[in-house]
């Protein structure tokens, strides 16, 4: 635990990681989008499959990871959450990356992303590069922890973070956002 994030080292079993990852292979993916819902490979280069709120796969994924959101939020953040959640499985191939960004959107919606979650679905030896990093002077958990299959990281959606370019292999991760009433 850190005051900015929670990390659980290799917490989700290999079998559960493979079950989650298998959802990616069953569906059609699209190129990862950036904040204005466009694609710009200089900012983000990945393939993603989204699981919108209320779908069967969204509910299945939530069963694996909701307890981490609840624990992190109760122990550290104390954000008001409303149950809305969205998930994606991201695939980063060679040269895949996501430059520094926030997961939070600033708009007039009544519900906004408040907590982000990332679950490592690949073994560390399956790829090189592809490090998940917090930026803007926030300490990142060690890459030895982050790269372990099944590691879970929960953090506020207003923290800047990025994924460095993958130099070899493929990196798969589950990412998600839990929402709450708009910040006042």
CA separation, residue 83 to residues 16, 138, 180 (Å)? 22, 27, 7
pTM higher than 0.75: yes
Q: Of the ranges 10-24, 26-40, 90-104, 158-172, which one carries the lowest mean pLDDT score?
A: 26-40
Quote the CA–CA distance of 132 and 120 in Å, as a whole number: 10
Task: Supply the pLDDT for residue 111.
Answer: 84
Residues 156-180 have a mean pLDDT of 96
What does the pLDDT read at residue 123?
96
Interatomic CA distance for residues 175 and 100, integer angstroms: 15
Radius of gyration of the chain (CA): 15
User: Tens of pLDDT along 78-88?
Assistant: 999 998 999 99
Q: What is the pLDDT of residue 39?
A: 72
Least confident segment among 57-66, 103-112, 121-130: 103-112
What class does CATH assign to 6-33+44-172?
A: mainly beta
The answer to whether 98 and 135 are in contact (CB under 8 A) is: no
pLDDT at 165 over 90: yes
Reported as a single tens digit per residue, the pLDDT across 94-116 is: 999 999 999 987 677 778 999 99
The reported pLDDT for the residue numbered 70 is: 96
- For the cut 70, the answer to whether the pLDDT of residue 146 exceeds it is yes
pLDDT, mean of residues 29-34: 65
């Amino acid at each position: 635990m850190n005051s900015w994030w929670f990390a659980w080292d290799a917490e989700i079993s290999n079998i559960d990681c493979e079950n989650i990852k298998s959802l990616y292979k069953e569906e059609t993916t699209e190129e990862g989008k950036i904040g204005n819902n466009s694609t710009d490979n200089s900012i983000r280069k990945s393939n993603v499959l989204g699981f919108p709120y209320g779908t069967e796969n969204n509910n299945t994924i939530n069963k694996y990871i909701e307890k981490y959101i609840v624990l992190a939020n109760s122990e550290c953040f104390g954000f008001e959450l409303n149950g809305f959640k969205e998930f994606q499985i991201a695939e980063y191939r060679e040269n895949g990356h996501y430059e520094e960004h926030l997961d939070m959107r600033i708009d007039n919606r009544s519900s906004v992303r408040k907590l982000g979650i990332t679950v490592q679905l690949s073994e560390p030896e399956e790829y090189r590069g592809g490090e998940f990093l917090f930026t803007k002077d926030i300490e990142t958990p060690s890459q030895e922890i982050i790269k372990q299959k099944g590691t879970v990281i929960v953090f506020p959606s207003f923290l800047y973070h990025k994924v460095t370019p993958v130099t070899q292999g493929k990196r798969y991760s589950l990412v998600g956002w839990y929402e709450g009433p708009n910040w006042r």
